[in-house]
Amino acid sequence: MAKRLLPISLALMLATGSATVFAVYPRPATAHILCDGEFQITKYGPIATPYCGDQVIARVANSYGWRDSAAQVGTNPLAKVYICQTLGTDWRLQGPCAGYVPHGGGMR
């Protein structure tokens, strides 16, 4: 049997139709969370969120040379506890690590 070829008009219509679909839907929208310290900035004002707190914890840990990322801190609760109990005396971690540091984070 011989191959059936599409008529040129149908091939052109399919080609322009697919280009139109890509022009109308270029790519999915991505959500971006904006943090200021441990606070998420929203249209209603700053809100303390665990996501932004994890960002702060990871940033402070990185400043001490640790290689934990915010994703690791957010998905592994034991990493968060370990960082908070080890570096919890740093003043930048008073808010995000408040529940993980004994005696409010002060040295005894």
Q: Is residue 25 part of a domain?
A: no
Averages of pLDDT over runs of 10 residues in the chain (108 residues) are 60 55 59 92 95 95 93 92 93 92 60
Residue 102's pLDDT is 75
Q: Is residue 88 part of a domain?
A: yes
Residue 5's pLDDT is 61
Q: Is residue 92 part of a domain?
A: yes
Q: Is residue 3 part of a domain?
A: no
**Domains: count for the chain:** 1
Residue 42's pLDDT is 94
Tokens of 43: 């249209």
Q: Is residue 33 part of a domain?
A: no
Q: Is residue 45 part of a domain?
A: no
Q: Is residue 58 part of a domain?
A: yes
Distance CA 94, CA 88 (A): 7
**pLDDT digit string (tens) for 4-19?**
665 665 555 555 555 5
pTM for the complete prediction?
A: 0.66
Q: Is residue 18 part of a domain?
A: no
CB distance 37 to 63 below 8 Å: no
Residue 106's pLDDT is 53
Residue 101's pLDDT is 81
Residue 31's pLDDT is 77
- Number of helices (H) and strands (E), helices first, in the chain? 4, 3
Domain hosting 81: range is 53-105
